[in-house]
Amino acid sequence: MEYIKYLEELIPEKDSLKLVKSEAEKFYKTHSLDECVHMGHELYQSNNFQIQEVGVFLLGYAAHENSAALSFLKNTVSQHDSWKVQEILAMAFDNHCKIIGYEAALPTIQEWLASDCANVRRAVSEGLRVWTSRPYFKDNPQVAIDLLSDHKSDESEYVRKSVGNAIRDISKKHSALVVAELSTWDLSSKEVRQVYKLASKFIEK
């Protein structure tokens, strides 16, 4: 396919997130959503992980009109063994939330956070960072804190670290809210203590 050949020649072997993002955005702005979905699936079949990443971005852009694209991100891309592709999944999910509006995205955010798959849960906690710089959460920081805090004892260390760091981010502007939340935590488990340590990093003891 011509576009895949173009990407293969354009994208270097070394990691180039800036190029991946710009090419995906360029395609999205110049093609229909159906074309984005079709191309997203085509690119995901590539052996080049960066071309796959362009595909993941395209599926994220189209997901608000195509529930199958969102399901593919949640159920298939989340199984990819590259942590770099998982980073793109998080960004693609955030793009989806931005397009439909973060308040409107709340049911999907909650659904993904309830997933059995750690990569799906982390796509939310990591993708929306800094949570309170996002519309809706900017005016409703407590909602963000509550959603994240529900995962302070997540079974995945990978998710717990993301949650702790995301709450830490919020503490820069909303320290009183974070202090109030952390004061309610039972620190008897090492998992919660780990998240607490990360979340309270910028809070004066």
pLDDT at 12 (0 to 100): 77
Mean pLDDT of 122-134: 98
- What DSSP line would sit under the chain, residue for residue? -HHHHHHHHHS-SS--HHHHHHHHHHHHHHS-HHHHHHHHHHHHTSSSHHHHHHHHHHHHHHTTT-HHHHHHHHHTGGG-S-HHHHHHHHHHHHHHHHHH-TTTTHHHHHHHHT-S-HHHHHHHHHHT-SGGGSTTTTT-HHHHHHHHHTTTT-S-HHHHHHHHHHHHHHHTT-HHHHHHHHTT--TTSHHHHHHHHHHTTTS--
Question: What's CA 161's distance to the chain center, in Å?
Answer: 14
pLDDT of 70 above 90? yes
Mean pLDDT of 27-48: 97
Mean pLDDT of 107-112: 98
User: Domain boundaries in the chain?
Assistant: 1-100, 101-205
pLDDT at 162 (0 to 100): 98
pLDDT at 205 (0 to 100): 56
Q: What is the pLDDT of residues 139-182, one digit of tens each?
A: 999 999 999 999 999 999 999 999 999 999 999 999 999 999 99
pLDDT of 1 above 90? no
Residue range 1-100, CATH number? 1.10.1240.70
On average, the pLDDT of the chain sits at: 96
pLDDT at 15 (0 to 100): 78
Mean pLDDT of 113-136: 98
Pick from 5-14, 51-60, 88-97: least confident: 5-14
pLDDT at 44 (0 to 100): 98
Question: Domain 101-205 - what CATH class?
Answer: mainly alpha
pLDDT of 30 above 80? yes
pLDDT of 79 above 60? yes
Mean pLDDT of 183-188: 97
Mean pLDDT of 69-73: 98
